[in-house]
A and B are shown apart, each in its own frame.
Chain A
Amino acid sequence: MSYQDKYEMVCGVETHVELATKTKIFCACTTEFGGEQNTHVCPVCLGLPGALPVLNREVVNLAIKAGLALNCEIAEFTKFDRKNYFYPDLSKNYQTSQYDLPICKNGRLEIEINGESKSIGITRAHMEEDAGKLVHSGESITTSDSSYVDYNRAGVPLLEIVSEPDMRTVDEVIAYLQELVQILDYAGVSDCKMEQGSVRFDVNVSLRPLGSRELGTRTEIKNLNSFAAVRRCLEYETERQAKVLNKGEKVIQETRTWDDSQGVTLSLRTKEEAHDYRYFPEADLVPLKIDPEWVERIRATLPELPAAKRERLKELGLSGYEAGVLTSSKAMADYFDRVMQNYADAKVVANWIMGDLSALLKANNRSFEDCPIKPYQLADMLKLIKKGDISGKIAKTVLEEIYTGGKDPAVIVKEKGLVQIRDQDALEKIIAEVLAQNPKSVADYQGGKEKAFGFLVGQVMKATQGKANPELVNKILKEKLQIAY
């Protein structure tokens, strides 16, 4: 039995996204990922006494940009606050964040579920600093007697985007997250490298009896870093809560952690939990006033966002599915647009990008971001097909050649002698030979076996190493076969 027979899920998500700046939020240390431990640090991000933070202008620009992309109101007045708690990944014992006056609020984004559109509210988005990284020595967290701290990540700018508890199924949650990450990727506010932890999710989830309008007690599961982890975690947690409720017990409001290897959520409660963040204004930073001109300046830099792009692709004659796949990453969508500049047949371009080119990149573990085949080269190859210089089959070989050697398609076709044989006389000669060598198939075809025709075409192609123009081969073959042998 599934929880859905008796209960409805209510879920909201907090998304932490690293903003794509060169330097940290309050100091000039680099935000570059990796780096030897504790080498991207300075007195400010180490929280040394007397060091003073100064806000990075680009953080504000990107926060405004993200807010606009998510249809938020941008605050005219905003400030930072201290969120106090003790944990060694915070060098200052407080995180500089925003409390009551976040930079963005009241936004929304649209998701599509089973062909229907649904609006998910964005409560707020605020700027804050990332924490350092803890590395545990020994076998596991619980057996090691000490922890190591690397503060390279401390002070990397984050935007925390808080959704309304608007999602009712796991599919809706995943659709929301995919759309959100896509929008942030398109807007260029983050590199969105999930595998490097550029985007992390905290989910708040509760169940309520079907038909009930009241909210049940929720749990919060922190620090999920992939869509797959969110899905598995929610599937587990909803069933766990359903079991608790079915026994007549109450769900305890608490923070839990997702153990990916065991596939379970675990309570993080300790007796000292009772968090009291004691937020208060950060006196080391002055408040921000954002005038409408600043907002408009940023709005002018917003590129076409995924929803608009999907619509445009559909207008070009592509299906909803094709438009969805092509816009799933900004790099792929940009690639499509660039090929289209030189070869404006959307269906054909889409087929090659989604089919052979995607497969080729996947096989080589690469993405459209670093695709060795330039968009103009793909366009040139498509022109060669259209002109009849090469067949679609030969084109697959050409594509691989461009991929490995980087040469332009026309050069490859010439060097490798891949140009189609469209010479009627030459083909007639080859076909005559093929027919002479296969009297049985000829007889079969003339006796009514249609299949034999395909075999004969295959033999002609084999004899020409696939270079014969298929239409011409069909035509000549048919003519010759009508003459009784």
Chain B
Amino acid sequence: MTISKQDVEHIALSARLKLTEEEIKLYTKQLDSILECVDLLEQIDTTDVRPTAHGVELFNVLREDEVEPSLPQEKALINAPETEHGFFKVPRII
């Protein structure tokens, strides 16, 4: 086991997931097997390989600074569970 129950609980809290004891057990096992699989990669000799930041060998994809129309307000809000006065309405913060 490379991952502990505490690790899984921490990850769940960070992702704002509420897990049952059973789920924690299950995910601990599953995450552990994923990490084992990733560990296989550690066996490869990467001495001369530079770290990469992206999976595709592509750089400098840029747009020009030109304004295009935005969404109309009603479209922007269309998927929101709650809206008021053109705002997204969310539960009280703090």
Question: Are A and B associated in one complex?
Answer: yes
Is residue A436 contacting chain B, with contact meaning CB distance below 8 A?
A: no
| Contact between chains at A79 and B54 (CB < 8 Å) | yes
| Contact between chains at B92 and A22 (CB < 8 Å) | no
Cα A435 to Cα B64 in complex, Å, equals 77
Chain A residue nearest to B59 (CB atoms) is A289
Contact with B along A269-292 (1 / 0, CB 8 A): 010100010100101011111000
Cα A285 to Cα B56 in complex, Å, equals 10
| Contact between chains at A288 and B85 (CB < 8 Å) | no
Is residue A148 contacting chain B, with contact meaning CB distance below 8 A?
A: yes
Is residue A106 contacting chain B, with contact meaning CB distance below 8 A?
A: no
Count contacts on A: residues with CB < 8 A to the other chain: 53
Interface centre among A79, A149, A283, A285 (most CB of B within 10 A): A149
Interface residues of B in 4-43 (CB under 8 A from A): 10, 13-14, 16
**Chain B residues whose C-beta falls within 8 Å of the C-beta of A48 in the assembled complex:** 79
Interface residues of B in 49-87 (CB under 8 A from A): 53-56, 58-68, 70-73, 76-77, 79, 82, 84-87
| Contact between chains at A39 and B72 (CB < 8 Å) | yes
| Contact between chains at B93 and A145 (CB < 8 Å) | no
Contact of A37 among B13, B61, B72, B86 (CB under 8 A): B86
| Contact between chains at B16 and A86 (CB < 8 Å) | yes
Chain B residue nearest to A59 (CB atoms) is B65
| Contact between chains at A36 and B62 (CB < 8 Å) | no
What's the minimum C-beta distance from B93 to chain A, rounded to whole angstroms? 5
Contact of A38 among B76, B79, B94 (CB under 8 A): B76
Given contacts A149-B87, A286-B60, A288-B60, 13 further A-B contacts (CB under 8 A): A22-B65, A38-B87, A39-B73, A43-B71, A56-B62, A56-B63, A58-B65, A79-B54, A136-B93, A142-B94, A146-B92, A276-B10, A286-B61
> Residues on A close to B: CB < 8 A?
21-23, 28-30, 36-43, 46, 48, 54-60, 79, 84, 86-88, 101, 134-136, 141-142, 144-151, 270, 272, 276, 278, 281, 283, 285-289
